[in-house]
Amino acid sequence: MIKPNNICFVFLVILSLVRVSNVQAQDASFSQNYASPLYLSPSFTGLTEGSRMTLHYRDQWPSIPGTYRTLAFAFDHYMADYNSGVGVQFYRDDSGGGLLVKQNIGLLYAYEIYVNDNVMVRPGLQFKLAQSFIDPTKGTTSDAYDNYGNLIDQTALDVDRDKLNRFDAAASVMIYSNFYWAGVTADHLVRNNEAFTDVTSDTNLKITAFGGYKWVYKEGRRRMPDQSITFAFNYRKQADFNQLDVGAYWVYNPIELGLWYRGLPNANAEGLGNQDAMIAIFGLHLGQMRLGYSFDLTTSDLTGSGGSHEFSIMYTIPSSNKPKINRSAIPCSQPGYSGGGASRSKYRSRSRRIF
């Protein structure tokens, strides 16, 4: 009888092999989507009153050795004189304890189009240099395991190359107001061969659709913040893989609590189940800093994986430069107004934080 942990381990090895051979792996997904806004969409670039730094780390399935660890760091700035946001982002995804590493560094740009006092439109672009590495000594074939999941053959993987360099790009557009936002991102616009063998495996286009609505059920009074609930979704499709995150945030500055579900009723490629996880999110806003933690409670067959942990830090640096246009529309995900009172005041500071 094969033990559950061994089943998980063999399953992950097979996934790693699929990545190496003729099917492309899917991009990593963060549970705290708005703690890494530039990773979600270039349209979020410069959606602040000044500058912003974000650091995001995800440890997926920690109870299984050599699984997935993802890191993202970004810096962006709003240029008021040009109604534009510019930014830089570094991303690294380590699969299989160094078996397969993907990383990229990209430049981002977004332009802010003023529609009226309540609506803004933001197209965005990203250009990035990407690398993929494989360590054949850390990989094995499925024949290397016996029926009990024990490793019996440590022969290294047979690959033609162990490093790939390529150029990639992404484009997006987003519309938002004080109470709703919606956007779409198209990533991997450049077709690249990502195979480490002589079997061609082109990059799969990834489409992301996101949006939400903010309900302020109690307006702040006398320097007290609003109390609100924000409903949001994030849908991703890449080749035969598709996934949907739906959830809500309750916000009473400085506390933020979120509950999300990741899954779809239909199966993904290869008949794999698409019921992934319940996600609990906790955020704490300390002035210009937001600290976040989330835990994914696995609901799929990998219930012994230990779930997933995410840690995030966001720090904003206000600018003294005043924008030339009225940026009265603010993101629906705005959790607080510099600790101030009711959001309807036209004299209030228009802080532009994201979850």
pTM of the full predicted structure? 0.80
Q: Has residue 353 been placed in a domain?
A: no
Q: Is residue 329 part of a domain?
A: no
344 found inside a domain: no
- Tens digit of pLDDT at every position of the chain (355 positions): 334 344 344 334 434 433 343 334 578 889 998 999 999 999 999 988 889 999 999 998 776 766 789 999 999 999 988 999 999 999 999 887 778 899 999 999 999 998 888 889 999 999 999 998 888 776 665 555 566 666 555 555 777 777 889 999 999 999 998 888 999 999 999 988 787 776 667 788 999 999 999 998 888 787 788 889 999 999 999 888 889 999 999 999 899 999 999 988 665 555 555 677 899 999 999 988 999 999 998 887 666 667 889 999 999 988 765 554 555 565 554 433 333 333 333 333 344 444 4
Residue 339 lies in a domain: no
Please report whether residue 181 resides in a domain: yes
Residue 323 lies in a domain: no
Residue ranges making up the domain that contains 53:
4-318
Total structural domains within the chain:
1
What is the 3-class SS of the chain, one letter each residue? CCCHHHHHHHHHHHHHHHHHCCCCCCCCCCCCHHHCHHHHCHHHCCCCCEEEEEEEEEEECCCCCCCEEEEEEEEEEEEHHHCEEEEEEEEEEEECCCCEEEEEEEEEEEECEEEECCEEEEEEEEEEEEEEEECHHHCCCHHHECCCCCECCCCCCCCCCCEEEEEEEEEEEEEECCCEEEEEEEECCCCCECCCCCCCCECCCEEEEEEEEEEEEECCCCCCCCEEEEEEEEEEEECCEEEEEEEEEEEECCEEEEEEEEECCCCCHHHCCCEEEEEEEEEEEECCEEEEEEEEEECCCCHHHCCEEEEEEEEEEECCCCCCCCCCCCCCCCCCCCCCCCCCCCCCCCCCCCC
Domain CATH number, residue 186: 2.40.160.40
Instruction: For residue 43, tell me if it sits in a domain.
Output: yes
**Residue 333 counted as domain residue:** no
